[in-house]
Structure 1
Amino acid sequence: MIRAVLILLATCLLLSLSACATKKPEKKTPDAEDRTKILTPFEQLSLKSDAKTVFEDQGKFILLEGKKCMQRDNGAEPVTLLQWIEMPDYVDSGTVVLNGWDLRYLNQDREVNSMRADITHSKLVKNTGSTVLVFEAKGTLEDQSRKDAFEFCVFYTALGYHSTAIDATIEEDHNGIESSVVQTENQGAVATLENTGHKGMLRKYDAVAIIPRGFDFQYTDTFECEWRLWPCQWGDRVDYRLLQVAYNLSQASAAPSLGGTPHWVTQTIFKDNNTHTHRIKTRAAQIRGRSVKLHGDFLALNPRTGKTDTCRKSADGVVRTQTVRINELPYDYAIPMLTGWELVNECEHQRVQRAGIWIHDIRFDPQAGYLEYKVSSILRDQDGAPSFNSAHRITVLGLNRLSSSEKKRAPRFRLKIRD
């Protein structure tokens, strides 16, 4: 009973959600899979998450991973996913990381107007005898007409810990920090969004890490008349084939600026063979404290232009998976975060049937000091040819337990009373 009340309370704290349609597409693309009927948000909350535990230090820390998929019979509204994860009783702080996405048209390949994978809200709700982490994710894959059925899968990593063991505070967790910009074709293909947190929010011994939560790309032109059976309408929006889509969130270091202000930069690419004006939105959260550590990597975004003659034209539209290991991590706990990725068609722009990149099968061994994960990616049109290339970047969020002396350290106040 308490758990049901907590889930309902958490839902009320999120945005108001509309029910999804339940029509099931008859035709499917070659790699489409059967799914259950589309559920309303409240029906989704009746189903427990199937997230699996990656690592747990009993009484102190837990790391879980999972995914959830849902279909919509048209693109008029985004897919809205609600997920709740039951946490151990000792968890009094926790959050979720967007660690991948998978979008596909269910009936055929299409040009693209917008792509979105976004964890819009997150909330840890705790009461006597029950602790749940609830989050909401939205996904979009739209062409000009918004009439095509599509599927959205979100891949996530959830972490929870006890604050007496780990000094870390999660900031902007519920709504995230949203940034947006309109990138004109004259500005080039690479858009840059600079973010600055609240001034003075960090203590002198704090470190900070930025948690990726989502992206939303959309071409901004409002009208395009294409040759087709039905005449075009004034409300038709532009859509294009896809050559390259990319995202890269980076911060110079975990240390704040002199004013105690966190700073990070996000760069994106969304284009066909040419560059067009489009809107970008990104979302992130923050975690700060003396337990927070950061292990970064590098990913350079280089925009592709036009057609190349050096490409493989054989059918290759399958999911690619590779295993990656990071050694010698000096952390008590390590959380991989997908902070950068790139998908690019090898020859030239193509219509899109499926696109996505995600990490999964995470393994962490604190004794050996290594973190291992698998990364999968896909970019294809209807026939799966030509091939595609992908790249990714992982930032490791490290958390260290407090020592006995650090646990005893507390703010000291001096109070002087006048006679």
Structure 2
Amino acid sequence: MSIEIKAPTFPESVADGTVATWHKQPGEACSADELIVDIETDKVVLEVVAPEDGVIKEILKGEGDTVLSDEVIAVFEAGAAGSAAPAADASPAADSAPAGDADKVGPAARKLIDEHGLDASKIPGTGKNGGITKEDVQNFMNSGAQPAAAAPAAAAAPAPAAPAVSVNVAAGERVEKRVPMTRLRATIAKRLVDAQQNAAMLTTYNEVNMKPIMELRKQYKDLFEKTHNGTRLGFMSFFVKAATEALKRFPAVNASIDGNDMVYHGYQDIGVAVSTDRGLMVPVLRDTDSMSLADVESTIRDFGLRGRDGKLGLNDMQGGTFTITNGGVFGSLMSTPILNPPQTAILGMHKIQDRPMAVNGQVEILPMMYLALSYDHRMIDGKEAVQFLVTIKDLLEDPARMLLDV
């Protein structure tokens, strides 16, 4: 029985996707719910699994092709017996690979091999059953193990051996690599540029004494971890709770702009920027006013693990009324965060650094952190932005304020 394999149903905010990697090839055996293809959108990578035991009969959308929501990308034959490794595409690969390697080269990988005249037998495969993926070919070329500069010239027209050698030497001395930008990174770039062009963005700065939080954390971290089933007490939960309280006091900072309308949100959904191999992602903590410190820490940890493994879903990143980004984990001392539209403000955390500070007429060495609040002046006045940031500073320097709501 033939079954149509369709792209996932994309939400309204996602127009289309790109076929990233086919993990199964026509004729290769598939088990029910086994991953067969990744679809990359401008937010996440979605996985499509086999509906039943069987084989892929025909691939309609190759790697790199654009697909729409629910578009048919392949035909699946349920119940059919397949081979352990893809054999249907062996003949097209024969031009660029020996017969023994042809059956393990994916369509996108084969295209790169043909374009650059590579020897498939020398490319280590990381795919299913040692199959060679597009990423394997790109990594092989980037490693410089087999320079690609000479191959296109040889394919276009026969050339003497001597010029080819000189090109190889030049490529070896001054190596360049060209890698297509992923949809996620292209979307991040577009959104950041749009934010700078369309918003009246300003940034205000302050600094916070982290000593009270650090002492509180040191005193209770072991008990906290024991009480909350291994959840560790970090700094981010304090910032999320302080930001939540400040957002309640300054509704304009928690608002968003929709065309000519200003939308005030009666809830606090805070996005936390997470760095992954695919790019920056901003999963959202929902209703942070009702979350405990342990809830915040465990949820952020879950976001980080799933972001690393490429398991964050579209629902994890939908919405959000405010964003916190922490460049301090990478050593950043000061930065100007860019707005995450349609939100009107973003808080930047930075590195904790011991600095001499004047305290009651005396010089003390204190662990200080610079804070940066970028905001849209169309929605937020400078007075509100400064007071919002000062509120966060006051709450962090005296954590009891968060408990007493003062």
More strand by proportion, 1 or 2?
A: 1
- TM > 0.5 fold call: no
TM-score by length of 2: 0.24
* TM-score normalised to structure 1 length: 0.23
Q: Bigger radius of gyration, 1 or 2?
A: 2
When you count helix as a share of all residues, which structure comes out higher? 2
